[in-house]
């Protein structure tokens, strides 16, 4: 939710390992209907027998290339030109939005009943939440929360919050998903409870810049530990990387909402070895207004200030005026009304925690640094391309009634990465994980199970691991606070996703022969 050099070109830790395949038919009749074609051109995958392992492990590069060529040939035959042209129509989410490659027809709407959140009033307890602080840099403590620590063999899921909020925004995921997984969430530096423990500036006499109102960051010079401090996406990307390496200690499924989605994708593109998959919840597709000094060194020199400390005198006056407006409780209430489509959603805790953050002495200067920090070294689209090339699984979940990051942005990602699953929830706004956590948690569980089982467990709403239907809609019903509620969930898959998965697997095995030996 928003209130206002990469390396390691390794393959993602999650791979679809298929030891052997047998073809049900040797020939394909392209003149037959699509249904008949699929029946005769099925590929059935079977588990290799122990004696077959040696043969699979000793496949040389030439043989893998032959398999890849054969696979691509079959994919082309299964989707001949006269068939694909018919499916290249427009899929419209809003009346003024049209994107190619999405079919018009939607499958029959069916009702799906899913579990609700743990009902503590009836004695059903959720996972216990604990919190702590991790000292990443001098005077910069990272606040985090975790649950499900007893699930030692379960996958790890890391949630990244949007701008203006923090770990408290994922309480419903910590309590619910913590029963099955090890769940973590953190506050980005400069937000939530990850604010500096000391004033990053001082006056000329070396004393703290306290102006009598307890405001930090408005001194005359920067403290030594804060001379290069800028609350930027590059800082947060490095923060997430070091937190996983030093605190969690293993690759994770990373989930990000809004700004957190941008950081999640940026981090994954730069650190594929630490990521098992990325879920984007109404991810903002851009962040930062000023040019990046690495990408645009000449252009960046035209801007005298880029979010460092101390704030220039001209910036201080503007920030003081803006901060009074946006930190006003009435302004915060109005923003919450905008981003939540269902106004019956209880946001009292979220509201109180946001107010608490705004009262910290470093809040105003931190806000200024965030707003004036340069853009990241990678754009959102570039990060997507890197993740796609590196084989990182991605899942898209978007609230349809989001007034800021409208579904058009999620569908643009879907167009760039047609093989990834896309779930559109309605009614739901900018923060679907807090507004309809029952649905988001259900979809997350299903997606993770699909990846952990290497595709043997189907994605939510699909009866088969393959994307038999490329578009469908479901009415999802659940119990919330003793009453039955329902939302519509629209799913977009890809008819060729099975072929894409197989192709990705073979390409990965060519670049890394050890994959086939696992």
Mean pLDDT by 10 residues, the chain (518 residues): 50 41 38 35 40 48 55 50 31 36 50 92 88 96 97 97 97 98 98 96 66 77 95 98 98 98 98 98 94 91 92 92 96 96 94 96 96 96 97 98 94 94 97 98 97 92 58 92 94 64 51 45
Q: Where are the domains of the chain?
A: 116-206+230-461+469-509
The predicted structure's pLDDT at residue 66: 57
Q: And the tokens for 175?
A: 């309590």
The predicted structure's pLDDT at residue 481: 87
* Residue pair 402/368 in contact by the 8 Å Cβ criterion: no
Closest by Cα among 120, 121, 140 to 129: 120
Question: Cα(478)–Cα(152) distance, rounded to whole angstroms?
Answer: 29
Question: Cα(355)–Cα(352) distance, rounded to whole angstroms?
Answer: 5
Return the ∠ at Cα 178 (arms to 172 and 184), rounded to 5°.
Answer: 85
Question: 10 Å Cβ neighbour count for 43?
Answer: 17
**What are 70-124's pLDDT values in tens digits?**
555 555 544 443 333 333 222 333 333 334 444 334 445 789 999 999 987 777 8
Question: Cα(311)–Cα(292) distance, rounded to whole angstroms?
Answer: 19
List Cα–Cα distances, 72 to 11, 66, 68, 282, in angstroms: 21, 10, 6, 33
- Which residues does residue 252 pair with via DSSP β-bridges, in sequence order? 275
Question: Cα(262)–Cα(283) distance, rounded to whole angstroms?
Answer: 6
List Cα–Cα distances, 98 to 27, 95, 231, 427, in angstroms: 38, 8, 36, 20
Q: Which helix (H) or strand (E) holds 72?
A: helix 61-78
Write down the pTM of the prediction. 0.77
- Which residues does residue 426 pair with via DSSP β-bridges, in sequence order? 488
Q: Which helix (H) or strand (E) holds 218?
A: none
Q: And the tokens for 467?
A: 């994307």
List Cα–Cα distances, 479 to 15, 117, 282, 435, 476, in angstroms: 36, 8, 24, 14, 10
Question: Cα(475)–Cα(175) distance, rounded to whole angstroms?
Answer: 25
**What are 115-126's pLDDT values in tens digits?**
999 987 777 889
Q: What is the dihedral of CA 364, 369, 370, 376, to 10 degrees?
A: 180
Given CATH 3.40.50.1820, say whether it is the number of domain 116-206+230-461+469-509: yes
Question: Cα(188)–Cα(144) distance, rounded to whole angstroms?
Answer: 9
The predicted structure's pLDDT at residue 17: 43
Q: What is the dihedral of CA 332, 337, 340, 345, to 10 degrees?
A: 100
Question: Cα(383)–Cα(486) distance, rounded to whole angstroms?
Answer: 35
Sign of CA dihedral 373, 374, 380, 384: negative
DSSP 3-state assignment of 379?
Answer: coil
Question: Cα(265)–Cα(277) distance, rounded to whole angstroms?
Answer: 10
The predicted structure's pLDDT at residue 435: 97
The predicted structure's pLDDT at residue 124: 84
List Cα–Cα distances, 374 to 35, 200, 234, 287, 292, in angstroms: 52, 19, 9, 9, 5
The counts of H helices and E strands in the chain are 17, 15
* Residue pair 144/184 in contact by the 8 Å Cβ criterion: yes
- Cβ contacts of 328 within 8 Å, gap of 6 or more: none
Question: Cα(471)–Cα(92) distance, rounded to whole angstroms?
Answer: 12
The predicted structure's pLDDT at residue 68: 56
The predicted structure's pLDDT at residue 357: 96
């Amino acid at each position: 939710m928003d209130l206002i050099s990469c390396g390691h070109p390794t393959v993602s830790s999650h791979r679809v390992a298929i030891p052997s395949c047998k073809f049900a038919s040797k020939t394909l009749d392209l003149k037959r209907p699509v249904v008949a074609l699929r029946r005769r051109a099925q590929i059935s995958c079977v588990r290799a027998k122990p004696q077959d392992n040696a043969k699979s492990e000793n496949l040389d590069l030439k043989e893998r290339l032959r398999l890849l060529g054969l696979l691509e040939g079959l994919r082309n035959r299964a989707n001949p030109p006269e068939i694909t042209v018919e499916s290249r129509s427009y899929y419209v989410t809003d009346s003024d939005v049209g994107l190619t490659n999405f079919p018009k027809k939607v499958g029959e709407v069916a009702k799906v009943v899913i579990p609700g959140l743990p009902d503590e009033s009836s004695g059903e307890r959720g996972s216990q939440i604990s919190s702590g602080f991790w000292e990443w840099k001098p005077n910069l403590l990272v606040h985090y929360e975790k649950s499900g620590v007893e699930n030692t063999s379960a996958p790890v899921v890391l949630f990244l919050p949007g701008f203006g909020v923090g770990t408290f925004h994922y309480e419903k995921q910590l309590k619910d998903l913590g029963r099955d997984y090890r769940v973590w969430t953190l506050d980005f530096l400069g937000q939530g409870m990850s604010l500096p423990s000391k004033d990053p500036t001082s006056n000329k006499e070396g004393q703290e810049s306290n102006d009598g109102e307890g405001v930090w960051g408005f001194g005359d010079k920067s403290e030594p530990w804060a001379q290069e401090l800028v609350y930027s996406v590059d800082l947060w990307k490095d923060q997430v990387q070091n937190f996983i390496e030093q605190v969690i200690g293993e690759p994770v499924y990373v989930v990000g909402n809004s700004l957190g989605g941008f950081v999640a994708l940026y981090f994954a593109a730069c650190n594929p070895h630490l990521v098992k998959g990325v879920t984007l919840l109404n991810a903002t597709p851009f962040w930062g207004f000023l040019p990046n000094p690495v990408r645009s060194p000449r252009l960046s020199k035209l801007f005298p200030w880029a979010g460092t400390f101390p704030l220039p005198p001209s910036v201080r006056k503007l920030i003081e005026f803006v901060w009074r407006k946006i930190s006003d409780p009435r302004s915060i209430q109005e923003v919450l009304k905008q981003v939540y489509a269902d106004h019956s959603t209880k946001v009292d805790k979220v509201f109180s925690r946001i107010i608490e953050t705004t009262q910290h002495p470093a809040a105003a200067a931190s806000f200024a640094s965030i707003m004036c920090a340069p853009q990241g070294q990678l754009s959102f689209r570039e990060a997507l391309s890197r993740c796609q090339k590196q084989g990182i699984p991605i899942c898209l979940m978007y609230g349809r009634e989001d007034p800021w990051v409208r579904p058009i942005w999620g569908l643009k990602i879907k167009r760039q990465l047609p093989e990834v699953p896309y779930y559109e929830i309605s009614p739901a706004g900018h923060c679907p994980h807090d507004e309809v956590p029952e649905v988001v948690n259900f979809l997350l569980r299903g997606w993770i199970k699909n990846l952990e089982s290497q595709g043997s467990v189907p994605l939510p709403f699909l009866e088969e691991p393959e994307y038999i239907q490329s578009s469908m809609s479901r009415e999802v019903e659940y119990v919330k606070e003793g009453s039955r509620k329902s939302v519509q969930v629209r799913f977009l898959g890809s008819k060729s996703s099975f072929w894409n998965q197989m192709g990705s697997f073979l390409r990965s095995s060519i670049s890394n022969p050890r994959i086939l030996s696992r």
